[in-house]
Structure 1
Amino acid sequence: MNVKMQPEYKPDTTGATLAPVVVPASPETRMNSTDQRLHRQVLQDRIFRGVTRFFAFFVLALLAGIILSLLVGAWPAIKEFGLGFIVNTEWNPVTGKFGGWNSIRGTLLSSFIALLIGVPVSLGIAVFLTELSPVWLRRPLGIAIELLAGVPSIIYGMWGLFVFAPWFADNVQPWLTESTANIPVLGTVFAGPPMGIGMLTAGLILSVMIIPFVSSVMRDVFEVVPAMLKESAYGLGSTTWEVVWNVVLPYTRNGVIGGVMLGLGRALGETMAITFVIGNAQQPISSLFDPSTSISATLANEFTEATTVLHTSSLIYLGLLLFVITFIVLMMSKVLLLRMQRAEGKQS
């Protein structure tokens, strides 16, 4: 009798594992996965757009809130003095008569002096760093200039009051008075006792403060000019001045104007440095050596000492006017840029 024996089972001791069997996903599963991914991407895009829209409208709402709060705070002065507050020169907290022209004039004049001195110096610094300076000197010199932007304004004010103003009164103001005495207009502009502090000193300190900002912006925009354009101009025999004037400045015109506007905004809103050196006098001036005041200096000096509602409201009215001046300046710069762009389109 033949008995068929079953083969003996021996376990695998080699340690090998069986490869997993991959079951292909069905078309329905792949479609569901794709739909989920698309749904997730659409949801993320909606969240992103909503968050960015919220931030944009939040800034507009914040701006509207600032304007509204200034209007509410300045309303008693607006109701009392009206638009005549802008041209009135009287500022007397004792009698309750307030006018903002002295402060407005000081703000505009000091900012104009700062731009008149600071912009050419900044342009020269930017041109030197990008076109003339040795390579090994560009980085340390650029860093040194940018470090001036980090100096607190109160340090500039203290330096201007205790160091610059005495030196300016002893060495520069007498020379300016003597040199311009016989010149019709300049003789009046630079007349007066050399006291050190005054409108001209404030403008000079502001010019030093805006130079780092304007020169940094100009240097950055000059560096983005394609090297091919400058090399082509040099290859045609142009000098460095011709390259800068005919190639670099036209190519970076918008950036240069933006840098100037940045410096102007810095000068218009400066407070502590101006307060130290402008003289803080609510009076008409006949020369740049006379002490004067600005909107920011008036606010810094008198806001904590204002005891009446009308006095406080007049100070807030000055703040509102400073806001309007800054807005007008920015709007004018934008209009200028648009006109320049249109002129370039017509030329092309």
Structure 2
Amino acid sequence: MPRLGQPSEPGPDPEGVDEARRAPRGKPEPVDRLFRGTLRGSGALVLAIMLLVGVFLTYRAAQALGVAKGSFLSTSAWEPDSHHFGIAAVLTGTVLIGLTAIVIAFPLALGTALYISEYAPRKLKRTLVSLVDLMAAVPSVVYGLWGAFLLQGKVVGLSRWISTYFSWIPIFKVDGADPGDPLQATTVYTSSTFIAGIVVALMVTPITCSVMRETFSQAPAGEREGALALGATRWGMIRAVVLPYGRGGMIGGTMLGLGRALGETIAVYMIISPVFAVQPHILENGANSVSALIALRYGSASNFGMSALMAAGLALFLMTLVVNFIASSIAARSRSGAGTEA
């Protein structure tokens, strides 16, 4: 024991011990090196494939882009054999279909995710998760058949009602339609951007819901219990804790769904009536998209026409790549709890 007045000997440094325990080994095990190399190789392979796809599309589209140059983004017509072509019309249609789908899919996905994570009984939760995931496994052609032969006839009345009372909004205006004429043909409302957007919305809802549900389930249990202990209702707790915490997941999931909606092909192709003009009225007959254009003209395209289709595919590839990259970044931040107030 140390004498009185003499300083005691310093004891062991717990921090140093902890740092020594946490220090990595000098030489990793062979299994660790193999695992690390496999992960790095897989990541590099994915990046290499994406790069090769972009290089291939650029190489095949070079001939058409060299002829069209700046007019490729501003021309609505599609006549590649006469060197008069562009993606202004199909790009506008692609964006409108995607935005229509997201506007419809967002409340569906949000409500479903909140019910599964916050309200559903434990026994029912697993079944609901399986059913939502099963929606993503349904082939696109099945959605297209359902939309073309069943949904389209049921939605015409809704399209007419929206056009009648909200035609003062430009996107809901239908040229050639007379709301006061009960004998007005319904064909002016069929094969529209609105109907295609509804079908695509059901296709992107599962992935959007999955991201939201995963984020909501990671909300801190302590803050949930604290809100309830202070007298908050279940909805009050969700509004004060779950929704702020899951804001990043909501944004990321929505943008992931948008990336899927922009590239949807078969279902859109089966529903729309292709037009090669900028069509800003989503309720009106006639629409188009980049993917539907490629599916429509691929079989009969000449060598130069194929180059033009590759150029359209390159534009869609770059647009969806940017959207998905931003969505993945936001979703990754939300999973780690970064960037949230909760």
Residue in 2 that maps onto 1:178: 164
What's the CA shift string for 1:160-200, capped at 9, x where partnerless?
1111112222x22222222224x354652697454421111
Residue in 2 that maps onto 1:17: none
* Residue 290 of structure 2 is aligned to residue 304 of structure 1: no
Q: CA deviation at 1:130?
A: 1.9
Q: CA deviation at 1:142?
A: 2.9
Residue in 1 that maps onto 2:14: none
Tell me, in whole angstroms, the C-alpha distance in 2 between the residues paired with 1:220 and 1:189: 41
* Residue 263 of structure 2 is aligned to residue 269 of structure 1: yes
Tell me, in whole angstroms, the C-alpha distance in 1 between the residues paired with 2:268 and 2:39: 38
Contact 2:170 2:281 in 1 (8 A): no
Residue in 1 that maps onto 2:88: 101
Residue in 2 that maps onto 1:230: 224
168 and 314 in structure 1: CA distance in 2 versus 1, 3 angstrom threshold = same
* Residue 141 of structure 2 is aligned to residue 154 of structure 1: yes
Contact 2:102 2:257 in 1 (8 A): yes
Residue in 2 that maps onto 1:68: 55
202 and 41 in structure 1: CA distance in 2 versus 1, 3 angstrom threshold = same
* Residue 234 of structure 2 is aligned to residue 240 of structure 1: yes
93 and 150 in structure 1: CA distance in 2 versus 1, 3 angstrom threshold = same
Q: CA deviation at 1:335?
A: 7.3
Q: TM-score, normalised by structure 1?
A: 0.78
Q: How does 1:108-119 map to 2 (within 5 A)?
A: 108-119=95-106
* Residue 73 of structure 2 is aligned to residue 86 of structure 1: yes
Tell me, in whole angstroms, the C-alpha distance in 2 between the residues paired with 1:45 and 1:205: 46
Contact 1:188 1:286 in 2 (8 A): no
Which amino acid in 2 is paired with 1:262? L
Residue in 2 that maps onto 1:30: none
1:325 to 319, 329, 332: 319
How many residues of Structure 1 are paired with residues of Structure 2 in the alignment?
307
Q: TM-score, normalised by structure 2?
A: 0.80
Tell me, in whole angstroms, the C-alpha distance in 1 between the residues paired with 2:77 and 2:150: 32
50 and 138 in structure 1: CA distance in 2 versus 1, 3 angstrom threshold = closer
SS of residue paired to 1:82: helix
Tell me, in whole angstroms, the C-alpha distance in 2 between the residues paired with 1:317 and 1:100: 9
234 and 157 in structure 1: CA distance in 2 versus 1, 3 angstrom threshold = same
Tell me, in whole angstroms, the C-alpha distance in 2 between the residues paired with 1:227 and 1:45: 34
Residue in 2 that maps onto 1:207: 201
1:59 to 13, 38, 46: 46
Q: CA deviation at 1:153?
A: 0.4
SS of residue paired to 1:62: helix
Which amino acid in 2 is paired with 1:299? I
Contact 2:269 2:292 in 1 (8 A): yes
SS of residue paired to 2:173: helix
Larger Rg: 1
Tell me, in whole angstroms, the C-alpha distance in 1 between the residues paired with 2:238 and 2:74: 43
Contact 1:173 1:194 in 2 (8 A): no
Q: CA deviation at 1:94?
A: 5.2
Tell me, in whole angstroms, the C-alpha distance in 2 between the residues paired with 1:141 and 1:328: 32
What's the CA shift string for 1:200-238, capped at 9, x where partnerless?
111111111111111122122212223322121112122
Residue in 2 that maps onto 1:35: none
* Residue 210 of structure 2 is aligned to residue 216 of structure 1: yes
Q: Which runs of 5+ in 2 are unaligned?
A: 1-24, 178-186
Contact 1:149 1:213 in 2 (8 A): yes
180 and 140 in structure 1: CA distance in 2 versus 1, 3 angstrom threshold = same
1:292 to 281, 287, 290: 287
Tell me, in whole angstroms, the C-alpha distance in 2 between the residues paired with 1:129 and 1:39: 47
What's the CA shift string for 1:101-129, capped at 9, x where partnerless?
11111111111111111011110111112
SS of residue paired to 1:291: coil
191 and 120 in structure 1: CA distance in 2 versus 1, 3 angstrom threshold = farther
Contact 1:103 1:293 in 2 (8 A): yes
Which amino acid in 2 is paired with 1:145? V
Which segment drifts farther, 69-78 or 171-180?
A: 171-180
Q: Which runs of 5+ in 1 are unaligned?
A: 1-37
339 and 124 in structure 1: CA distance in 2 versus 1, 3 angstrom threshold = closer
SS of residue paired to 1:83: helix
Percentage identity across paired residues of the two chains? 32
Which segment drifts farther, 184-193 or 147-156?
A: 184-193
